[in-house]
Amino acid sequence: MEARTVNKKDELLNQVEHLVDELDALRRMVDTLHDDVLSLSPLQHEPSIKELYALLGLYDRNVYLPTIRTILTEVRPTLVEGDDDELLKGRDWNQEPFANVLDFARQTRIELVSFMRSVSSDAWERLATIGERTLTLFDVAYAIVQHDAQILRAAALRLHDSRWSS
């Protein structure tokens, strides 16, 4: 195995793991955030801030971890993408204290990163298909980072626009 592949794996996993730091930073500010800002949706079909952070954990537990396990156990599997609405069904995240939502996202990310670190570097080259795209675990890790950035950006814009005060 090339050192370059191992370094690429470690670099991507460090980026995936960075979400834990982001959640920890927000967790320290949780008392300064108004619950109505966190629980209300700006539009009928848009998730609230609580739901956005819940989606981070829901994707880790219900999409990314099963996807990785499938890639590791099947030969070139065909995968499906996660669906925000489906993932949010079954639990009203807006009724949860925001600290609990953040703790859920943090714990699921720690579990995901731990599992991904345990995967051999060779296995990161295994192929899967999603839609028309062929991907490896490197692509999955990159997609996780991109999805995190998308959710964190949406939440930050929403918090900024709410004009909440500390």
Domain CATH code at residue 24 = 1.20.120.450
- What pLDDT, on a 0 to 100 scale, did the predictor assign at position 165? 41
Residue range 45-63: mean pLDDT, rounded: 96
Rounded CA-CA distance 133/121 in Å is 21
- What pLDDT, on a 0 to 100 scale, did the predictor assign at position 29? 86
Task: List pLDDT tens digits, range 68-103.
Answer: 999 999 999 999 999 999 999 999 999 999 999 999
Residue range 130-153: mean pLDDT, rounded: 96
Supply the DSSP string of 86-132, one letter for each residue: HHHTTS-GGGS-HHHHHHHHHHHHHHHHHHHHHS-TGGGG--EEETT
Four-residue CA torsion sign, 43, 45, 48, 49: negative
- What pLDDT, on a 0 to 100 scale, did the predictor assign at position 163? 58
Q: What are the C-alpha distances in Å from 43 to residues 39, 84, 106?
A: 12, 15, 27
Q: How many domains would you assign to the chain?
A: 1
Four-residue CA torsion sign, 33, 86, 127, 133: negative
> Which stretches does DSSP call E strand in the chain?
78-79, 128-130, 133-135
- Of all residues in the chain, the percent with pLDDT exceeding 70 is 94
Task: List pLDDT tens digits, range 3-50.
Answer: 666 799 999 999 999 999 999 999 998 888 889 889 988 777 899 999
- What pLDDT, on a 0 to 100 scale, did the predictor assign at position 5? 65
Question: Which structural domain, as residue segments, surrounds residue 51?
Answer: 3-162
